[in-house]
Structure 1
Amino acid sequence: MKNYDIIFFDLDDTLFDFPKSEQEAFTKVFNQYNIVDNLNLYKQSYREISRKLWSDLEKGKMSIDKLGSERFRRLFLEHELEMDAVVFNQDYLKLLGEQSPLIQGTEKVMRELSHKRLAVITNGFTEVQTSRINNSPLKDTFEHLITSETTGFQKPQTEIFDFAFRQLQITNKSNVLMVGDSLTSDIQGGVNYGIDTCWYNPNDKENRTSLKPTYEINNLESLLEIIK
């Protein structure tokens, strides 16, 4: 156990059940446009397109502003759907902001760590993540919400951590922990910045990278065993 005073959390797939949120919002937005046929096919294509674009975002090849509409532009092009990708994305994001199912154990962990300084660093959209937090039991939990959209940088870039450290006026890296599910985003970002990391790996995925997280857990409540 170590006395971490400040804990940065990722949101999607770490505290929020993103696949469930995405599925609900995706289904609702297509129903809103009265498109119900081939929905499973569209979902599969969308996930593949979205995965590639989020990877490009981490690598600095895609901006968060462009990513939103670009995923639907590519989807509509692939399936010959004549719709405005920009407007459709706006409608989707509004619905996504209403979805806030939590990963099991999240509420307990946040309650047990309420005496610590807690903040979020996410590559997600500011308005969506703000809405999801405010619509969940996590409202008023975090000192700051730092997003790639606000900062102009994304994990694993060091600049987004620079911004977070300035916001929280942190001067000592040794008592800071980054918790997240993504090796290439959360863990790589923490390693790049020289802070301890905790890889949340609920499905016990094999680490095929050269990265070595400080800790690895497969359920959130195990975090309480790490933090003094």
Structure 2
Amino acid sequence: MSYRSTLSQLDIQTDQINNLSQSFWHIFNHFAVMESDVNEVLTVLTRNYRLVVITNGFISAQLPRMQAAVIEHFFQAVVVSEAIGFAKPSPEIFHHALSRLNLTLAQVLYVGHSLKHDYAGATQVKIDFCYYNRKNQNLPQEAKPNFMMSKLLNLLELFN
């Protein structure tokens, strides 16, 4: 059930729903809650590596959220599915990101938190994959990421 249908059932008027929707979207797009160690990890990695974001979503949401988190300066490129017409796990979004930075498959480690989108896409194009398993969930038997971590700071251990 969508929030619109929920609000309608509560007899909240359409103009109020639209105002609420616009307010929510504005807050969502301009607010970010950062996980601990993000800045440290990104600071260390950008010393020797070029970083790219590959995200499913909308340009109007992803870029302002990165700016709100003050992390956009760490990334050489941001590839947003809306902008290129392909979403993860489609191989095209990964190939687009590789071509933006003129990288080969062997030069890339893709870090992601979704087996459905990140792992599936990275493995389709044969990019090494590190699964950010922050909830320490058991993996399906068929999932075999190259690396796995439960804390973001552990990513730095892969590069020492």
Query: What corresponds to 2:148 in structure 1?
Result: 216
Cα distance in 2 for partners of 1:125, 1:117 equals: 23
User: 2: CA distance between counterparts of 1:210 and 1:90?
Assistant: 41
Flag structure 2 segments of 5+ consecutive residues without an equivalent: none
Counterpart position of 2:97: 164
Instruction: For 1:51-200, list aligned pairs within 5 A.
Output: 71-76=2-7, 81-83=12-14, 88-115=20-47, 116-170=49-103, 172-200=104-132
Mapped partners of 2:76, 2:5: distance in 1: 37
Q: SS at 1:205's partner residue?
A: coil
Change in Cα spacing, 1:214 to 1:137, as seen in structure 2 (3 Å) is: same
Q: Aligned AA for 1:122? A: T
Fraction of identical pairs, as percent: 29
Q: Does 1:207 align with 2:139?
A: yes
SS of 2:72's equivalent in the other structure is coil
Q: Could you report, residue by residue, the CA deviation over 1:134-171 in whole angstroms, capped at 9, with x for unpaired residues?
A: 1223131111111111111111111111211221222x
User: Measured at CA, do residues 90 and 107 of structure 1 come closer, stay the same or move farther in structure 2, by a change above 3 Å?
Assistant: same
- The unaligned stretches of length 5 or more in structure 1 are 1-48, 50-70
| 1:123 and 1:148 in contact (8 A); partners too | yes
TM-score by length of 2: 0.87
| Structure 2 CA distance for partners of 1:222 and 1:148, relative to 1, 3 Å | same
Secondary structure class of the residue paired with 1:117:
coil
